[in-house]
Structure 1
Amino acid sequence: KLLAIFLKSNTCRTFGSGAVQPFKDSAFYVRSNCPFTLTHFTHNRVECDITTRRGNSGLLVQVEIIINKVRTVLQNGSILVEDKSVSFPYDPTYQHIFQYGIYTKLRSTLLPLSVTWHSVAGGIDTLKVELEQELSTDMTGLCGKYNVTGAMSSISSSGLH
């Protein structure tokens, strides 16, 4: 039971329905095709920024993962690193992208972070951000560990439901 609680508090998920389960706190829905910051933080002077955009169906149609200024984009079933299409296993110095069962996984070697997703026709129906350790940094965005209430206030005041 304790292990499940630990993993849950270090995992943020979003689904094609629009549901977002942040690192901490209750799940909520985001029904918009505007880009949203899923999470943003800096750890050991390495910056991480993950943004998502949903299509009208609710599926994620674009995910942008920037770690240490290296930009990886998931879009239309393709993986682009620095605007170049890559296939897996992709294993440069700072990040590894590989097949993980029915999922695809990106694991950073600079941050205690991995991003796992499931692609379907029309987009991505599941995206999971996992932290391998507790971070002592402020995190913002929809998954934000310390700013979930603030993120929800911003969403509500913008009229997005």
Structure 2
Amino acid sequence: MSDTSFPDLVLPDLVMPPDGRQSETARGIQRGALRYLGARGLMGVPEFCLASGRRADIAALDMRGEVWVIEIKSSVIDFRTDRKWAEYRQHCDRLFFAVGPDFPLDILPEDTGILVADPFGAGLMREAPHHPMAGATRRALTLRFARAAAGRLMGLMDPEALRGVAL
């Protein structure tokens, strides 16, 4: 068995409903970025709440436990008016922007990775620098990630099961 296959894992046809906060463009970028991550063996959780209270557009975990945060920018105005992404560095090993095909890449910070995405996939335009988190931060974030992912799956399978439970 390879590191990225799970032959004993069979999921029912469950689909997360859109949360309604993203534009159609942002949802397409999110879908393509998640497909990119999955094809590379990373598991992504959209709209992931960090310990700081900020919500990352996507947090992803690889087989070694490395954490990526992907910040989706659907337009230049979105990028220029939202500076909270700088706070995400302390919650990940690699920070990426995911943008659409028409986004001007030269305005994105040079010390971040870049994914160009559409609803069907994404391409890596620039690798993100590695800045490892402290061990305690990684452990806490990994636990938060596992609980969020498992809780979302439980909620899809049985919405009543999680009434009043904090994830």
TM-score scaled to structure 1, two decimals? Answer: 0.34
Greater share of residues in helix = 2
Structure with more relative contact order (C-alpha pairs < 8 Å, separation 6 or more): 1
- When you count strand as a share of all residues, which structure comes out higher? 1
